[in-house]
Amino acid sequence: MGLALLRGVILENERNSKIELVDINKIFKARRQTVYAAKDINIHVKQGEFVSLLGPSGCGKSTIIRMIADIIKPSSGQIFVDGEEITKFKRIPKDINRKIGFIFQMPNLFPWLTVRENVKLPLTVYNVKNEESENYVDELIDMVGMHNVKDAYPFEISGGAVQMIGVIRALVHKPEILLMDEPFGVLDAATRESLDLELLSILKKMKKTIIFITHNVNEAVLLSDRVYVMGTNPGRILENITIDLERPRSLDMLETDEFVEYCELLTNHIGKLDLSKIV
């Protein structure tokens, strides 16, 4: 097979990705400096894949998923969702926007709304009014074991419960893609690991395509099919590593040699980044 034909096959396979970023750059300009938040970013995510972006603060992780969600625009490059380029639009089309659910670092629940009303909020935004959707709100609340607190207010439930409500709220309009920006990052390690497993259990039933932001190596290994390791100055991809661990995942895995080896591999790549900053 000739090189040109081979490259064509590779490109065609990439175009079949659920999400694809091609040569993405994002530059923020201030009075005295220019910040390369993301440089030459190439990412592809297959249907149903769980992909993490792992790296320290300032490496462009959040910038990348905000560009996919059309919250900010790239300075150059192309982003595709289901093979359609979304960067060519001034504003992302509604039918594509409906495919995406975004979960922020902080759930930002409205304190004057009950748990159920907060979960239901995206349906109001999308003007969805039917019995099936109303039932789905309750189904999601039941799925995370919060039926007894659905009429409570956010200040009346635990921090972990509040974070999980933020997760299921992003699921209520049945998106195909979830963009998750360190949703459990503010929690203690034990609660975080417990919610990670609960998240995996929920998503296994729904077969979503996920891009997950984290700076926690254990979390990236526990959750992911693949991990893009990122570096800073400029924000860039250092490695693309497949996590070949059996599913379903469990906390028992954290003590296995294979899990520890993956953690060491990822940590070593991040360590190379630290060395590059002082050379």
| pLDDT of 272 | 59
Here the CATH number for the domain that contains residue 29 is 3.40.50.300
Per-residue pLDDT reduced to its tens digit, 164-209: 999 999 999 999 999 999 988 878 888 888 888 888 888 878 889 9
Output the pTM of the full model. Answer: 0.87
Beta bridge partners of 226: 51, 242
Q: Note down the domain range covering 219.
A: 17-99+208-279
In a domain, 56, yes or no: yes
In a domain, 248, yes or no: yes
In a domain, 221, yes or no: yes
**How are strands ordered across the β-sheet holding 84-85?**
34-45, 19-29, 76-81, 84-85
In a domain, 167, yes or no: no
| pLDDT of 29 | 85
Q: Would you say 231 and 198 are in contact if contact means Cβ atoms under 8 Å apart?
A: no
| pLDDT of 12 | 46
Which of 32-41, 48-57, 185-194, 196-205 is modeled with the greatest confidence? 48-57
pLDDT confidence tier of residue 33, bands split at 50, 70 and 90: confident
Average pLDDT in the 68-84 region?
Answer: 95
In a domain, 6, yes or no: no
In a domain, 201, yes or no: no
Give which of 16, 22, 28 is closest to 41, Cα–Cα. 22
For a pLDDT cut of 70, what percent of the chain falls above it?
92
Q: Would you say 87 and 162 are in contact if contact means Cβ atoms under 8 Å apart?
A: no
Question: What is the C-alpha to C-alpha distance for residues 136 and 120, in angstroms, rounded to an integer?
Answer: 9
Angle, helix 159-169 to helix 131-143, in steps of 10 degrees: 150
